[in-house]
Structure 1
Amino acid sequence: MNMHTSRRFLPSTALLAAFEAAARTGSVTLAARELSLTQSAVSRQIKLLEEQLQVELFARERQTIRLTAAGQAYAREIREALRKISTASFNLRANPKGGTLNLAILPTFGTRWLAPRLPKFLAQNPGVTINLATRLTYFDFRAEALDAAIHFGLRDWSGVEMAMLRAEKVVPACSTELKNQYGFHTAGDLKQAPLLSLSTRPHAWNRWFAAQNVAGLSGQTMYFDQFATVAQAAMVGVGVALLPTFLIHDELASGKLVRALDLPMESAERYYLVWPPERSAHPPLIVFRDWLLAETAADH
């Protein structure tokens, strides 16, 4: 339903408030008193609403009103909608920089890097609510109810504004048992072991071998669509994976993963915060962007 079509089904809040008050109190008189209006004004607003919707909301019997079945269902929906509007308006007045930020995140960056830092942001910005949704690749902001996204890639996302957050270095990582089994000494030795790749980074191993002046792969690698899965596969000895060092710090420190070879490579891609131009002045986005850039400043 487009906006032009839906305007017929978008009554004014004055009509909805009159209906909700009458539905809740069961009386036009009490509704009028609550809204500081005359009884005739409330009756007229309810009648206008029924005419706009072309549905009878009240059954009228002498001097009393009774909700119809349709009116009962509508009253429940409208009461919740008015409550949300009232709450949003109160929160905005109490904190003009508050509001909701609908943010798309990369799952591993979100859980391992962003989530542990979010309490700090929320404590500094108590009026802001962040809703998180997982997106792995480019998407169309015009088709998604999202204000911004944390994206890993090149500066080739058209139609958006972006701020670079940080670079990353990847390192070949595996289990201790696998490293001992193959006894890696040179970059070329890794070709003898099973290699694990993320499906969103299909050329990572070829880039890494090229950086080590070793011919690229001729065989296939195993592909995974999630970082958590490929990291777990590396930990249990399935193969060697190229993993960002800042996202596997705990696993390297605990020995769950080891560097197959200490030959890191900086990825060509970067982490970015991206947003559609029309959301650039959205207050929650502004405060989140400023905070995020400050948090990642040391990682550049």
Structure 2
Amino acid sequence: MRRKIPATHTLLCFEAAARHESYTRAAQELALTQSAVSRQVAALEAYLGQALFTRTRHGVALTPRGREYAAQVAERLLALERDTLNAMSTQGTQGAVHLAAVPTFATRWLIPRLPQLAAQHPDIVVHIETRTRPFMFAETGFDAALYAGTPEQVANWAGTQATLLVHEEVLPVCAPALLTDSTPLSPQAVAQMPLLQQSTRPFGWSQWFDAMDVVAPHALSGPRYELFSMTATAAIHGLGVALVPRLLVETELARGDLVVACEQPLRAVRAYYLVTPLRDQEPAALVLFRQWLATAAQPFHG
């Protein structure tokens, strides 16, 4: 049976006209004439049996149904373009891995290690987009997710399986200038320092001080930052002491931009996992990626 799908060039004309709410500007974008865009939209309206635009004194405006349809068409055209680019970027037979990832872990831990993957498996292409919360794999194009969470959160992610990669160990770090004679601080001394807060971990400092058996009245005080990368940058510039996972500031510690303010790490409940949907057979690229990732994470097990 023939599919009820309008021609792609018709949808492209409609999407551009809907985005601009102007046939003229859509024509300029698509290098067509205004009348050509108008004809394509008219053909689409006839195909659907309903109006998508209304005429106004200033040109055209979307009808309520036109606005709804435009959002749907734009999403699917974008997905089609992304799929096409993915197909073009795949260099060999092993294919691509479409990965959802928490941003700082991907930027600071995974991406610096991807050259190792490329050396071992040059035919695998890894595409990364940001996701911080569980989602339904069936509703996305992702093959896997790098997720930071507790064992309970991972267990409750329906229809998935998880591979533990790295336990999260947090410790206080700061700019070298905040330490007198480069001498690390005691936990009691850290409690007197300006503290940088992580908005996604509002009780991080409280948990650390509790583990150190230190009373810290100001454990919840201080500027808050959404990403660990922001918190680390604030610490580098001397704004205070940051409580961050060691593995996310490896480069800064090695360069001397940051130093350990107190060598009293705390293993957090959270860890980093590779989460994949349950399926009968996984793509070959994903199997190889998981194997490589587990090997790369092995030195961090403890």
TM tier, smaller:
0.5 to 0.7
- Residue of structure 1 equivalent to 2:276: 275
TM superposition shift of 1:122 = 2.6
- Residue of structure 2 equivalent to 1:146: 142
- Residue of structure 1 equivalent to 2:294: 293
TM superposition shift of 1:184 = 7.0
- Residue of structure 1 equivalent to 2:105: 109
- Residue of structure 2 equivalent to 1:206: 206
CA distance in 2, matches of 1:232, 1:88: 37
TM superposition shift of 1:247 = 2.3
CA distance in 1, matches of 2:197, 2:102: 17
TM-score, length basis structure 1: 0.64
More divergent stretch after superposition (232-241 vs 153-162): 153-162
State the aligned residue count.
225
TM superposition shift of 1:221 = 3.2
Report if aligned partners of 2:191, 2:216 keep a CA contact under 8 Å in 1.
no
Structure 2 portions without partners, runs of 5+: 8-45, 49-79
TM superposition shift of 1:217 = 4.5
TM-score, length basis structure 2: 0.64
CA distance in 2, matches of 1:129, 1:279: 23
Report if aligned partners of 2:184, 2:260 keep a CA contact under 8 Å in 1.
no
Report if aligned partners of 1:171, 1:262 keep a CA contact under 8 Å in 2.
yes
More divergent stretch after superposition (249-258 vs 165-174): 249-258
Q: Map 1:175-186 to 2 at 5 A.
A: 175-180=175-180, 185-186=185-186
Q: Map 1:245-284 to 2 at 5 A.
A: 245-278=246-279, 281-284=282-285
- Residue of structure 1 equivalent to 2:197: 197
From the superposition, tell whether residues 144 and 216 of structure 1 become closer, same or farther in structure 2 (CA, over 3 Å): farther
- Residue of structure 2 equivalent to 1:137: 133
Structure 1 portions without partners, runs of 5+: 1-5, 12-52, 56-80
Letter in 1 for 2:260: R
- Residue of structure 2 equivalent to 1:222: 223
CA distance in 1, matches of 2:136, 2:197: 26
CA distance in 1, matches of 2:281, 2:210: 40
Report if aligned partners of 1:166, 1:296 keep a CA contact under 8 Å in 2.
yes
Pair member with larger Rg: 1
TM superposition shift of 1:234 = 0.5
What's the % identity of the aligned pairs?
34
Q: Map 1:11-160 to 2 at 5 A.
A: 95=93, 98-155=94-151, 156-157=153-154, 158-159=157-158, 160=160
Q: Deviations over 1:141-196 (max 9, x none)?
A: 34332111111111213212100001132211111222339x87431222222211
Partner secondary structure for residue 9 of structure 1: coil
CA distance in 1, matches of 2:118, 2:255: 30
From the superposition, tell whether residues 128 and 10 of structure 1 become closer, same or farther in structure 2 (CA, over 3 Å): farther
Report if aligned partners of 2:179, 2:185 keep a CA contact under 8 Å in 1.
no
